[in-house]
Amino acid sequence: MLKRLLAAVVATGAIWAIGAGPAAAEYPERPIQILVGFPAGGNVDIAARQAQPFMEKYLGGSIAVVNKPGAGGALAYAEVANAKPDGYTLIMLSFPGNWTQLFGTEQRYSVDSYDYIGLLTDEPFSIFVHADSRFKTLKDMVEASKADPGSVTLAGAGAGSSPHLGALAFQKAAGIEVTWVPMQGSANMRTAVLGKHVDGGVTTVSVSVPMQTEGQARVLGLMAEDRWDEAPDVQTFAEQGYPVEWSASRGVAGPAGLPEDVKAKLVEAVKKTYEDPEFQALAKRDKQILRYLGPDEFEKYARNQYDMLDGMWKESPWR
């Protein structure tokens, strides 16, 4: 009798074990990739690499920042949009440039292609020149352009990129024509300006202001409503008579359809990254301007950015 009872208990345990199957693995169980659609060393790349170790800490897993430049970032944006939504392939979106690539070309991704996890940075664009450039002010650049239209060369990411649209806004406000020199990313643009291959560059303040601090460049103006307390001597465009405001913001997203538990962990990791005093100190050191938006606010922001560009495109196509 006892033997039959023990056999029944063993058999029942075996059935339970078979029914339960292997325990579900805890996310993340393998390395995560955050794609950056631009070369290493640029402002989007810097933002991703600053966040990476903190996201690793709060997720409890390994994260690799992977640079996949091309087509103004569109190659990476499309790759993530079409990736398996399992939380292992993410993207550092860079607004508004990630949406400008959708106008006038074949669309390989859309606003609906992503799950929005968290916005981390938002900073104004600027125009900078070599430290010994003939242009001391924006007015100098405007006067040279009016005297010889197209003679002034400005470099930045490709046609329809955020820097390009910032340059177009400046052209319109000043009534001038400059020659746009497309680059694969801000690192290449910086090299072109410092090598005196172009007259100036359009980039965000986290790239331009440190170069001025180091004595390599001169920032002619910020495309912002107010001056920046990290560079109080640099005037805004509006102060100089050219009412232009244009900024770039960056945040983490994944392909649409992330499992709810995975997305929740990513949202928490990005929020804790933003709140981490060490991360904030690092951002301050590297002139990154932080701005946090949670997933709902981030998605609303992303859609508003697209609608703004749609209106601009209909009024004045940039391709």
Higher pLDDT, 32 or 15: 32
Tell me: do 141 and 55 sit in the same domain: no
The percent of residues above 90 in pLDDT, for the chain, comes to: 73
ω into 182 cis (within 30 of 0): no
The enclosing domain of 145 has a CATH number of: 3.40.190.10
Token output for 128: 């900078």
Residues 16 and 286: their CA atoms lie apart, in Å, by 56
Helix count and strand count (H, E) for the chain: 11, 10
Token output for 305: 């950015």
Range of the domain at 212: 124-240
Find the angle CA(163)-CA(98)-CA(259) to the nearest 5 degrees: 150
Whether the predicted pLDDT of 168 surpasses 70: yes
Residues 240 and 9: their CA atoms lie apart, in Å, by 85
What's the pLDDT tens digit per position in 171-194? Answer: 999 999 999 999 877 788 999 999
Tell me: do 147 and 129 sit in the same domain: yes
User: Burial letters for 282-310: b for 16+ Cβ neighbours within 10 Å, e otherwise?
Assistant: ebeeebbbbebbebeebbebbeebbeebe
What's the pLDDT tens digit per position in 131-156? Answer: 999 999 999 999 999 999 999 999 99
State residue 3's pLDDT score.
Answer: 45
State residue 287's pLDDT score.
Answer: 81
> Mean pLDDT across the stretch 90-118?
93
The percent of residues above 70 in pLDDT, for the chain, comes to: 92
Tell me: do 181 and 210 sit in the same domain: yes
The pTM of this model reads: 0.78
Residues 41 and 139: their CA atoms lie apart, in Å, by 30
State residue 185's pLDDT score.
Answer: 74
> Do the Cβ atoms of 34 and 90 come closer than 8 Å?
yes
| Number of domains the chain is built from | 2
Provide the 8-state DSSP code for 69. -
State residue 7's pLDDT score.
Answer: 47
Residue 7 burial (CB count, 10 A): 10
Q: Where a domain ends, among 199, 224, 240?
A: 240
Identify any residues that bridge with 235 across adjacent strands, giving them in sequence order. none
State residue 11's pLDDT score.
Answer: 45
Average pLDDT, the chain: 90
Whether the predicted pLDDT of 25 surpasses 80: no
Residues 120 and 274: their CA atoms lie apart, in Å, by 7
Contacts of 269 (CB under 8 A, 6+ apart): 54, 55, 58, 59
Q: Where a domain ends, among 213, 240, 267?
A: 240
Tell me: do 166 and 60 sit in the same domain: no
State residue 24's pLDDT score.
Answer: 53
State residue 160's pLDDT score.
Answer: 80
What's the pLDDT tens digit per position in 270-305? Answer: 999 999 999 999 998 888 889 999 999 999 999 999
State residue 170's pLDDT score.
Answer: 94
State residue 72's pLDDT score.
Answer: 81
Contacts of 5 (CB under 8 A, 6+ apart): none
